[in-house]
Structure 1
Amino acid sequence: MQFLLIAYDAKDEHAPQRRLAARERHLAQGPALIAEGKALFGTAILDDEGRMIGSMLVREFPTRTDFDAWLETEPYVTDGVWGDIQVQPCQAGPLFLEALGRGLPLRLADGPG
């Protein structure tokens, strides 16, 4: 089952420092999650000045309970980086999954540029 997580950072003055302090541990879990087929996509959400203010992740776990168990260990949760977390079941399109599975950039059509 796939899950879309949209999380915005806490709004207090120390939130950016907490994000930076937890970022290395947050990113370090990526290779294992990818190898296990649990991390399909992730990106930082930026403000108009290009500062990271949140995250968008697509994860795959057998159940919501399994997803929640992983989320409880996520450094941005344990360190209080994310203040507003929304989770919704989702289904990635087969074209995107095929491109991810083969390690290819997604191309809908060949052409200039």
Structure 2
Amino acid sequence: MQFLIRAYDGAEKLDKRMEVRPRHLEGMQKLNDHIVTAGGLLDEDGKMKGSALIMNFESREALDDYIKNEPYVVEGVWEKIEVEPINVVIANTLG
């Protein structure tokens, strides 16, 4: 199953996000087989305010297991997380 995850940082969490980011990216490397695409959501000034991911998991429960252990969740960066099923038809890669 494919899922679209939109995760929004809490207020004034940019510094915390940058502190936790290496652990988040390390975790993403380990989950590479599950990732269709991922990136940072930006505010009007081009600063990160959250994350958008499209991921493959066998079930919503498996996705929830990932989310509860995600460093941005454990460290209190992501405040609001929205998840919905998605059917990716076209996935282009950059570069």
What's the TM-score once normalised by structure 2's chain length? 0.91
Using the aligned pairs only, state the percent identity. 36
**Secondary structure at 2:14 match in 1:** helix
1:7: which partner in 2? 7
Runs of 4+ in 1 over 2 A off after TM superposition: none
**Secondary structure at 1:80 match in 2:** coil
Q: CA RMSD, aligned part only? A: 1.5
Greater Rg, structure 1 or structure 2?
A: 1
CA positional deviation for 1:31: 2.2
Change (3 A) 1:43 1:105: closer
**Secondary structure at 2:82 match in 1:** strand
Stretches of structure 1 that go unaligned for 5 or more consecutive residues are 107-113
What's the TM-score once normalised by structure 1's chain length? 0.77
**Secondary structure at 1:25 match in 2:** helix
**How many residue pairs were aligned?**
95
Q: Residue deviations 1:34-75, cap 9 Å, x none?
A: 1xx201110101111111001000111100001000111101
**Relative contact order: is structure 1 or structure 2 higher (C-alpha 8 Å, sep ≥ 6)?**
2
Which structure dedicates a bigger proportion of its chain to strand?
2
Supply the distance in 2 between the matched residues of 1:31 and 1:79 (Cα, whole angstroms). Answer: 18
Q: Residue deviations 1:58-113, cap 9 Å, x none?
A: 111100001000111101110110111100011111x32xx5xxxx549xxxxxxx
1:49: which partner in 2? 45
**Secondary structure at 1:29 match in 2:** helix
Stretches of structure 2 that go unaligned for 5 or more consecutive residues are none
The answer on 1:60 being equivalent to 2:56 is: yes
CA positional deviation for 1:33: 1.3
Supply the distance in 2 between the matched residues of 1:83 and 1:31 (Cα, whole angstroms). Answer: 23
